[in-house]
């Protein structure tokens, strides 16, 4: 049937997802999870994940203080999304984008769906890019040369602040004269 085909495709998608996907019962016990969650917990904690365990046992105490608020909000019918830095111990941290959503059955909340995306590398790249932008901006702003950026039409798009030190005029007063 069509429903079974959709269910099979969903199961395949969850099994191959790079995000950890889990369903938690209102009492905090793990109901269902995909292989990514199992691999993450095994790699980080050295623990095997099984259905029925208390989800709080998957993360070190105090490592994810936002969790009770997110879980409670989902049990009250609210979805939540946060980016959190989780302390894995031994001075190791990972950044996760975590979304919680209530699971409804016949209009009643029967659990919480959690999707956790490991955003550690993205956060590292964002931080590195910001550091490099700051360095480049500092280099341009403190250069002993005048730096101009022109548009394709030949208009000034940018003038470095050094122009005021060198020419005695602020960047806003610099214009190009056409012949």
Please give the chain's pLDDT, 179 residues, in tens.
676 777 788 788 888 888 999 999 999 999 998 888 888 777 766 777 888 888 888 777 777 888 899 999 999 999 999 998 887 767 777 888 999 999 999 999 999 999 999 999 999 999 999 999 999 888 888 888 888 888 898 888 888 888 888 888 888 888 877 66
Alpha carbon distances (Å) from 36 to 17, 96, 115, 150 = 7, 13, 11, 49
Specify the pLDDT at position 17: 87
Question: Are the C-beta atoms of residues 47 and 33 closer than 8 Å to each other?
Answer: no
Distance of CA 175 to the CA centre of its chain: 43
Specify the pLDDT at position 72: 94
Q: What is the DSSP letter of 153?
A: T
Specify the pLDDT at position 125: 94
Specify the pLDDT at position 179: 61
User: Hunting for tokens 């999707």 — which residue is that?
Assistant: 115
Question: Are the C-beta atoms of residues 42 and 132 closer than 8 Å to each other?
Answer: no
Query: Model's pTM, two decimal places?
Result: 0.69
Sheet holding 92-105, edge to edge: 30-33, 20-24, 108-118, 92-105, 80-89
């Amino acid at each position: 049937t069509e429903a079974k085909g959709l269910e099979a495709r969903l199961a395949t998608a969850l099994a191959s997802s790079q995000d950890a996907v889990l369903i938690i019962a209102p009492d905090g016990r793990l109901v269902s999870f995909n292989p990514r969650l199992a691999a993450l917990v095994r790699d980080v904690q050295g623990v095997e994940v099984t259905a029925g365990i208390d989800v709080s046992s998957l993360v070190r105490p105090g490592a994810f203080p936002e969790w009770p608020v997110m879980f409670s909000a989902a049990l009250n019918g609210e979805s939540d999304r946060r980016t959190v830095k989780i302390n894995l111990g031994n001075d190791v941290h990972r950044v996760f984008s975590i979304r919680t959503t209530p699971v409804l059955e016949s209009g009643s909340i029967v659990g919480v769906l959690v999707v956790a995306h490991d955003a550690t590398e993205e956060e590292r790249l964002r931080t590195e890019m910001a550091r490099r932008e700051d360095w480049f901006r500092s280099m341009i702003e403190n250069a002993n040369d005048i730096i101009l950026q022109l548009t394709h039409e030949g208009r000034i798009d940018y003038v470095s602040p050094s122009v005021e030190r060198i020419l005695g005029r602020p960047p806003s007063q610099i214009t190009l004269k056409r012949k």
